[in-house]
Structure 1
């Protein structure tokens, strides 16, 4: 079979590929971070590239997504483009620094109780009158100094092999690194002040890491990046399907995540000016799919009814088991899941918010591709997952994009239309919070009805709507709202709110609203009984609460009770890192929450259908 050369610009990188290979496959194998929100299924039209040289014909499938002007400029979709000649292709790589990644945490107070302990000991030298073994001498000292009821310590053969030389080279003064009853390492001299850890929140879209000093609980640095798995799909279902294509798919996704975690560790220690070898523990919080992919566990049966995970309990592994670039004897502590679609990230949020100890009834909402909802207090907690789809992340929206530089993030309809753009540049698209504002504004003006349909020009609208009538245009035979004309965008394409975009938002909004209604029914309470609404996660902290309540995403009665709580999953992961007790409490929370499967709830179809109304 023939081979052709692909020159990837602006990197100037050259790759040989087999005839007929797709450009998407080529870019993935070259580890080029082009985004494929639909996993390369040809459904989203987002994987745009520019062919600079070479013979590439536009397929009929591509023409569904591309304008004639784009085709003339050499724009193609990587998932449809097959290689039958030498080509040069321009790819716009993602830059994590250009994305709005939520880093802020709640203030937290916790008693420091590290999982890994360091104990400095001065061991008696052996003599003809004291024939105790080296191991026995070490254990006697450690047990005497321990505040816990430890009667026997353990060690592996590797530690025992180096024990005699280490003890003598250190002149019988050394530091023991312990995890429970296990001695993990022995270090010469007093190293008790060098003990670090990292807490990771692995989201479907982003990954955030917090480097912590474990003796005092001080945060040393915060790092973040886009989840590298996004190029295999924007949502967990797409990634689950990819991972289920034999061992290679699962290994690919796990390797991408481990590499990303290691890169973040490198960045974090460089920012703080410390040594990665002093990291002895990391905690991991993520939804159930991200949890499984990190551990290399198949998520296949999470995606199939009845949606069963491999494991829900906490998992503790050695750093070497996962090839994490930290101290080789360190521990990786993964928080527990609640169910197939309510994962360790929700457990971390509940841990951080202490909803399990609250006298008041609180509602926690984490709005995303999989919207997680929890309701209750100290007496009972219910949780569910609402399959909101990727609309809030900008996928499956005609001009949608993530919250990155160039994204319209907020819109207002005053006397004139105004909007803000992340980075203050020419707009490139619209992210979830902007779409929410747009639809809420159109509804408030009477330009769309409660079914989400554009109202005909003959029908009565609010007088304020007159200023925006000129924005109604025809798009693919249907009405759409022109948000930004082509002359004002960065790419020369108009940014529209189409009828299909509104439908996608209604589906996402309907799923979330139905989940809230069902949890209220399960708890046996009314909306008025909820004392506080906690909005977690990136989208929840960037949205306009008035817009969310305006379209019924959140009950209108709760608008004055909404509180943004930042990256609460990250806060929970930090708590679990700093305190072994909090990690145990996370397991208790996960076991006590009652999971509600919405699809099997009586009357769910009718509740969901009604919840789609704006």
Structure 2
């Protein structure tokens, strides 16, 4: 007997399709089942307010959660949360895909790759084209464009100009890929000289199953393992397919992938049952050697694929790739690597010893769990300045403000504290406590506000990072002064104002002058693996000298975590 269902017409990005929705099934689940992925930071629990849809035709009852996240006007216009929307009849909905389209993501590292298979002793000086590109960047920066956080959702125009108009039959390429919890980024690399030819980045489609690895693990354990795997497969084939399709005919020698342990488990189809419970045992964290046809189920291509090894369940191959990027294996100077991503991974050490850890920072640094938070997309607030009671903001690409990204979150908190609008405990002044502090008015005259809940979210995240850093230093037996360089990794880390991060207590003031932003260090590590003949040796050394400390049951960490909640 078939389950009664209704039909939903879905309109998005100038497209329209009809999908079935079983009775007693939420629209979010129906969308996900039909491979339409929208953000659901809270994994469909109705607590984040991100899975917004608009009902164009038909009736969907207003839920209690809808009343919390939408104004009376918005509810009358048909706005609902898809996770609490249960249609009783056929209906037509639309949703905004801004968060997936034109996603700005850091893919460049300040760390330069040396020893490109000894093909070149030195990278050539910038040619005229690169100088012109740099001048354009500076010009855009003056206009408020967050140019450091850029990637190409469509093909890099320089790629077509340089490689589609010349004979490339003799050229060989490699593809480096970082599978992040929030974003997936990849780069096409010329094996002759190590040059980055093209870049692709997108939001991880698994976001429909929650923003963090715990939510993904829970979904996998509840029977969604294959659906989660297919999300990554779809993202990978979409990106890689730009370079291996018949139109380009590029000769791809190999593909190298890095990701946290959970992402690699989901990609490989491993069970996640032991990842989510003590003692958090991974199925496999060794180097994986496979091929495109086996991993991505496409017999057309037989390209070798290497997947970075990890250190533990919570310190994965992405951190190993970052350690490779930052030359931990061959430098006696003491370094600290902090990845300001969802999992808050970090490591301290040098060529003799490395200690690593992971903190539950959450998705705040990528705009998650923030009332009007968004990814690094055009229109996201990335800079905030409050002077004499007036709030001034800059947005990515200079577009009208639609939300606030991770960089903007740090800016907002710093400015609110500087102006005395929040106190050292994070409490908003009385006049803003209920409705939040208005950052800007949007085109629809609705306020984009920063709320008391948003401030609490950043307090939780920044105290987790800061406490983790201090525990690493204690366990290593060193002080702030002993650290030579602090590498700040991740898309968020590349553009953050380090001084403002220090003012709110995310980083200690003692790190002033020592911080070096390295962008997506995991992605850079995969590219280095492709180009550096000594990379395998360095990775082996990193694994031999590394060990993890578990912060979840560390009493000192818990004390510091509470201490650093304050500003």
Task: Give your verdict on TM over 0.5.
Answer: yes
Structure 1: gaps (5+ residues): 115-190, 457-471
Counterpart for residue 198 of structure 2: 221
Kindly provide the CA deviation profile for residues 259-288 of structure 1, in whole angstroms up to 9, marking residues without a partner as x: 211111122346x96325x32321111111
2:535 aligns with one of 564, 582, 592? 582
User: Equivalent residues in 2 for 1:246-257 (5 A)?
Assistant: 246=223, 249-257=224-232
1:363 aligns with one of 324, 333, 336? 336
Does the 8 Å CA contact 1:372/1:383 hold for their aligned counterparts? yes
Does the 8 Å CA contact 2:260/2:316 hold for their aligned counterparts? yes
Provide the C-alpha distance between the structure 1 equivalents of 2:212 and 2:443, rounded to a whole number of angstroms.
27
User: Equivalent residues in 2 for 1:410-489 (5 A)?
Assistant: 410-415=383-388, 416-455=390-429, 472-475=431-434, 480-484=436-440, 488-489=441-442
Kindly provide the CA deviation profile for residues 184-211 of structure 1, in whole angstroms up to 9, marking residues without a partner as x: xxxxxxx994543211111111111122
User: Equivalent residues in 2 for 1:275-314 (5 A)?
Assistant: 275=249, 278-314=251-287
> Is 1:81 aligned with 2:85?
yes
Counterpart for residue 234 of structure 2: 259
| Aligned Cα root-mean-square deviation (Å) | 2.3
Distance 1:559 1:216, change over 3 A: closer
Structure 1 position 356, deviation (Å):
2.7
Q: Structure 1 residues 68-77 or 26-35, which shifts more?
A: 26-35
1:592 aligns with one of 528, 536, 545? 545
Distance 1:25 1:411, change over 3 A: same
Provide the C-alpha distance between the structure 1 equivalents of 2:169 and 2:381, rounded to a whole number of angstroms.
49
1:18 aligns with one of 19, 22, 36? 22
- Say which SS state the counterpart of residue 599 (structure 1) adopts: coil
Q: Structure 1 residues 518-527 or 577-586, which shifts more?
A: 577-586
Structure 1 position 590, deviation (Å):
2.5
Distance 1:390 1:41, change over 3 A: same
Kindly provide the CA deviation profile for residues 509-532 of structure 1, in whole angstroms up to 9, marking residues without a partner as x: 110000010011011111122122
Counterpart for residue 8 of structure 2: 6
Structure 2: gaps (5+ residues): 120-167
Provide the C-alpha distance between the structure 2 equivalents of 1:296 and 1:4, rounded to a whole number of angstroms.
32
- Say which SS state the counterpart of residue 301 (structure 1) adopts: coil
Provide the C-alpha distance between the structure 1 equivalents of 2:565 and 2:529, rounded to a whole number of angstroms.
38
Q: Structure 1 residues 592-601 or 218-227, which shifts more?
A: 218-227
1:607 aligns with one of 535, 560, 564? 560
Provide the C-alpha distance between the structure 1 equivalents of 2:5 and 2:116, rounded to a whole number of angstroms.
62
Counterpart for residue 333 of structure 1: 306
Distance 1:602 1:200, change over 3 A: same
Counterpart for residue 542 of structure 1: 495
Q: Structure 1 residues 496-505 or 444-453, which shifts more?
A: 444-453
> Is 1:200 aligned with 2:200?
no
- Say which SS state the counterpart of residue 69 (structure 2) adopts: coil
Distance 1:611 1:356, change over 3 A: farther
Structure 1 position 412, deviation (Å):
1.4
Provide the C-alpha distance between the structure 2 equivalents of 1:440 and 1:500, rounded to a whole number of angstroms.
16
Structure 1 position 215, deviation (Å):
4.7
> Is 1:232 aligned with 2:205?
no
- Say which SS state the counterpart of residue 27 (structure 1) adopts: helix
Distance 1:455 1:21, change over 3 A: closer
Structure 1 position 428, deviation (Å):
1.6
User: Equivalent residues in 2 for 1:507-546 (5 A)?
Assistant: 507-546=460-499
User: Equivalent residues in 2 for 1:45-84 (5 A)?
Assistant: 45-84=49-88
Counterpart for residue 446 of structure 2: 493
Moved over 4 A (4+): 94-97, 324-327
